[in-house]
Amino acid sequence: MIYNYKDLPDNDNLNQFSYCVNVINKMIIKKGKMIAYYGMLRFEAVGENLLDLIVQESINTPRYANEFITATGEGKLILGDRACEMASYDLEDAHLTVKASRVVAFSPTLTCQESTLGGYLTFLGTGQLIASSNGPVVFVEAPAKVDPEAVLGWADLPSPSYHYDYEYIKGVFSAVGSLAGLKQSGEERQLNFTGKGTILIQSSENGQGIN
């Protein structure tokens, strides 16, 4: 199918690998995630007047602030992330944490801050968050233990802690692998989620972009 400006959807997927945002005022996007755009949009990086004001309210994370830019104006913005699956999450006075490498864009009405678990960003408030994943996202209820490579994020839950299956790693080969500094699998180490809430799981651990 060949799209033109009038055919593009408002805030919906073009296909499983791309997403079209209807920008009316502002949208904060990760650098390198814009595929194309229609309309009168202006892109500004950290340190350029407008974004400085937005950062004060929306991006409370010095470590990741320079990874984002703002799209300002009116138009259609098409986003993608290395042929990974794309999905939008509508937050309403919510608390959602997502793997930082998977964040694609979010509304400036949300506040973005670093999670207490390294490599994740927490979004607070009401607005839209767009994120990528390896395969469709599966939602499971806590409490549960999940392979860290499969976790995309979690909603309305405290940060998880790591759980090690010592009965498993006591095996000779696992012990040797740990001493040698080899990467542990999800059978040896998991993220332990407690309490009530929802865990977002990537249906495929493998594929490009895993981190």
Around Cβ 28, how many Cβ atoms within 10 Å?
22
Nearest alpha carbon to residue 107 among 33, 23, 13, 43: 23
Strands (E) in the chain, as ranges, are 12-15, 18-23, 26-30, 34-45, 59-60, 68-80, 85-99, 103-106, 110-114, 120-133, 137-141, 144-146, 151-155, 161-164, 189-193, 198-202
Residue whose token pair is 């469709």: 136
- Three-class DSSP category at 165: coil
From the list 129, 131, 146, 128, the residue with the least C-alpha distance to 101 is: 131
- Sign of the alpha-carbon dihedral angle for 73, 71, 133, 197: negative
Neighbours of 46 (CB within 10 A): 16
Quote the pTM value. 0.85
- pLDDT tens for the chain, 211 residues long, are 788 888 899 999 999 999 999 999 899 999 999 999 999 999 988 655 555 555 567 888 888 988 999 999 999 999 999 999 999 999 999 999 999 999 999 999 999 999 999 999 999 999 999 999 999 999 999 999 999 999 999 999 999 998 887 665 565 455 555 554 545 555 578 999 999 999 999 987 654 333 3
> Which residue intervals of the chain bear CATH 3.60.160.10?
12-133
DSSP state of 11: S
CATH for the stretch 12-133: 3.60.160.10
**DSSP designation for 35:** E
Q: Is there a contact between 95 and 156 (Cβ–Cβ < 8 Å)? A: yes
